[in-house]
Amino acid sequence: MTEEEKIFSGVLFSPGNPQLKAIKLKTHNLCTEYNQTFEDETEKRKEIVSQIFAEFGEGSFVQGPIAIHYGQHTHIGKHFFGNFNLTIQDDAPVTIGDDCNFGPNVTIVTPVHPMLPEERYMIRTKEGENKHMCYAKPVSIGKDCWFGANVVVCPGVTIGDGCVIGAGSVVVKDIPARTFAAGNPCKVIREITEKDSMQYKPEILADNTLIDPKEIETLR
């Protein structure tokens, strides 16, 4: 197997492998280029993100600055919004569904390092070479999710559709769909229900009008 194939298989790989370093260098340089653009340079930004990510859906936008590791391992759906300082360390695949909104400083990580310091320093390959090694676990985030500021999603986590993750959360375990979860470690606080509708907050809704959910689906 190639080192990239080892990543996808969930076994130890060498992050210092020349082919992997070349992918990361290209993406890091593209991120630097993106971070040097102005927000209204929309066509230039669109061209850069098309080179960074494996998929970047229609109507999606990242505020910048961004820090993406591989890029080609990340698939982002339609109408995604990523606020300042989005970081995705996508050694393993990262999937983000449609209509997600991330607050500032959201970080998604997939690599895992050995716990023992000696093993973190070096492991011997079957060819007899001593190398720094790690492994990685994919992250999957459903559609219609909202992450508050400073959320960290750890390796191997799956977050279901329609979730709200509170600011400052460190997500280490799967979060079921349509729940509000928060904390470090992040835990489900409760389900999201009809009682969370803005109709029950008229002082905030003010003179605005809610749209029928069936109509919302036709507007997406």
Contact yes or no for 123/12 (Cβ under 8 A): yes
- By the 10 Å C-beta count (0-12 exposed, 13-18 middle, 19+ buried), 42 is classed as exposed
Distance CA 23, CA 20 (A): 5
Residue 56 carries which side chain, given as an amino acid letter? F
Give the three-class secondary structure for 81: strand
Report residue 154 as tokens: 């750890």
Q: Is 69 one of the annotated active-site residues of the chain?
A: no
Q: What angle do CA 161, 66, 12 make, to 5 degrees?
A: 75
**Nearest CA-CA partner of 90 in 146, 153, 33, 48:** 153
* DSSP tally for the chain: helices H, then strands E: 6, 21
**Nearest CA-CA partner of 189 in 210, 168, 163, 215:** 163
Query: What does DSSP assign to residue 218?
Result: H
Helix (H), strand (E) at residue 126: none
Catalytic residue among 28, 79, 113, 132: 113
Contact yes or no for 179/188 (Cβ under 8 A): yes
Residues marked active site are found at 113
